[in-house]
């Protein structure tokens, strides 16, 4: 990896962050979404889940009860992965309002919040274009208004490819255990001087992250990502789980660049990756 180029991009991201911050440069984003009155009602132990029950859940889906603490928009109810035609459909149903809540910008790249719907899997990192056996491969839908890490794409078609970070978008990431992070995990760093194998759509940041041209779809209580089967080769026999989480950027050389700071909900309850693909 060209380390100087990567750090140049980080500097550019910081400039974008300053440009989209609050007028008074005051951080206003809490570490986790704050539970609203409507969320509390949706999470009442006697309430019915708000997701659409008109369809059968795919075989192998991970179902979970309503949370006492997670905001409804991040309270996982059903998490599934299924093949449909030539696509693998990663889907999460939440209690209410999927994707309706996003972080407020802090005005800086350092400590910038990232909110995410995540499907951790048992896939090998080599399947998504990195070197083998690098950590936990996860598909993620993320929102982070302080920076844009999809430099190849202009998601809102406004002519500027560097201002779309707040829009929900898709990443592959490789996670590793990290005692420095509140959630115990981080996106795996690329140490200075190392040049690992990376996919063609790697955004040239010093972490194992990919920014593929794969849309995130949001409707009512559902968030969904449709991955072409060709992207995964023949590896369709993998386990998965569902997680909603808040991550945090750190530009300190002593911290992981992207930490899992807080876990909002885990579909299985214990991150055991029990889901199986409905084929």
User: Is there a domain that residue 274 lies in?
Assistant: no
Q: Is residue 275 part of a domain?
A: no
Task: Answer positive or negative: Cα dihedral of 142, 145, 146, 149.
Answer: positive
Q: Does position 20 have pLDDT exceeding 60, yes or no?
A: no
Residue 277 lies in a domain: no
Q: Tokens 């309503």 correspond to what residue?
A: 66
Is 272 inside any structural domain? Answer: no
> How many residues in total does the chain contain?
279
CB 178 within 8 A of CB 254: no
99-153: pLDDT as tens digits = 999 999 999 999 999 999 999 999 999 999 999 999 999 999 999 998 888 877 6
Q: How many domains does the chain have?
A: 1
Range of the domain at 103: 3-266
Is residue 44 domain-resident? Answer: yes
DSSP string across 217-242: EEETTEEEEEEEGGGGTT-----B--
What predicted TM-score, i.e. pTM, was given to this entire model?
0.82
Residue with token string 């905001």 = 71
Residue that the structure tokens 């048992």 belong to? 122
Domain presence at residue 131: yes
Residue 180 has pLDDT above 90, yes or no: yes
Does residue 90 form part of some domain? yes
**Domain assignment of residue 142, yes or no:** yes
The answer to whether residue 28 scores a pLDDT higher than 50 is: no
């Amino acid at each position: 990896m060209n380390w100087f180029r990567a750090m140049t991009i980080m500097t550019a991201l910081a400039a974008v962050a300053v440009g989209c911050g609050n007028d008074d440069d005051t951080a206003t984003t809490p570490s986790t979404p704050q539970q609203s009155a409507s969320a509390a009602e949706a999470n009442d132990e006697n309430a019915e889940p708000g997701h659409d029950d008109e369809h059968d859940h795919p075989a192998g889906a991970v179902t979970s009860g309503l949370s006492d603490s997670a905001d409804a928009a991040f309270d996982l109810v059903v998490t599934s992965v299924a093949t449909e035609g030539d696509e693998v459909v990663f889907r999460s149903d939440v209690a209410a309002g999927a994707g309706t809540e996003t972080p407020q910008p802090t005005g800086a790249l350092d400590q910038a919040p990232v909110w995410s719907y995540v499907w951790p899997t048992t896939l090998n990192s080599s399947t998504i274009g990195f070197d083998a056996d690098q950590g936990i491969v996860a598909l993620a839908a993320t929102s982070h208004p302080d920076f844009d890490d999809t430099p190849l794409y202009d998601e809102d078609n406004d002519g500027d490819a560097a201002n779309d970070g707040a829009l929900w978008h898709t990443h592959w990431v490789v996670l590793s255990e990290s005692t420095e992070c509140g959630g115990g995990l981080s996106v795996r760093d690329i140490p200075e001087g190392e040049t690992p194998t990376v996919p063609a759509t790697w955004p040239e940041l010093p972490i194992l992250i990919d920014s593929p041209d794969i849309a995130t779809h949001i409707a009512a209580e559902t968030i969904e990502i449709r991955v072409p089967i060709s992207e995964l080769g023949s590896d369709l026999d993998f386990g998965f789980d569902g997680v909603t989480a808040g991550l945090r950027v750190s530009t300190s050389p002593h911290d992981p660049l992207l930490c899992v700071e807080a876990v909002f909900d885990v579909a299985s309850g214990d991150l055991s990756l029990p889901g199986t693909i409905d084929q």
